[in-house]
Amino acid sequence: MSKTSHIHFVSTGLCLILGLVLPDPSLAETTRYYDSQGRSAGSSRESLDGSRTRHYDSHGRNIGSTRRDLDGRTRTYDESGRLTGTSRPNSRGGSDYYNARGQREGYSRPNSRGGYNYYDASGRLTGSSRANSRGGQDFYDASGRHQGSSRR
């Protein structure tokens, strides 16, 4: 009996292995990004378990990826697989951001609009986000000008 005889794919997108139901890793949630004019600015596809995300430009070309560890730390890579930065949860409910050399570049904190305020390493506001009705976020610069949005 071959190993493949124990693996069956069902139409619901679940993989059945020896009686265990596991998510099909090919299924993922896609988030689409748009600039302030509503033009496509790219997309990302997150694995079902949330541990991996691939990022694409508006033409569908891979521009990088992120990997999330069990402790919440996220590592960001460019399209060639080189580490470009990391983030980790902070005590304020947001994240601390570091460059590839491990130097802190900024942080985020939740705001009252269902999003986050973003700050540089010196504590200056650099932008913000807020939840939108499309299941994503609207993004703003430090002056409050709309910069783009995401949709799920």
Q: What is the pLDDT of residue 152?
A: 86
pLDDT in tens, 21-34: 455 555 578 999 99
pLDDT the model gives residue 7: 37
- The predicted-structure confidence for 104-134, as pLDDT tens digits, reads as follows 999 999 999 999 999 999 999 999 999 999 9
Average pLDDT value over all residues in the chain: 85
Rg of the chain, C-alpha, whole Å: 18
**So what's the pLDDT on residue 3?**
33
pLDDT at 1: 34
Closest CA to 57 of 45, 44, 46: 44
Residue 14 has pLDDT above 70, yes or no: no
d(CA 150, CA 2): 45
pLDDT at residue 17 above 70?
Answer: no
Mean pLDDT on 87-110: 96
Question: Average pLDDT of 6-24?
Answer: 43
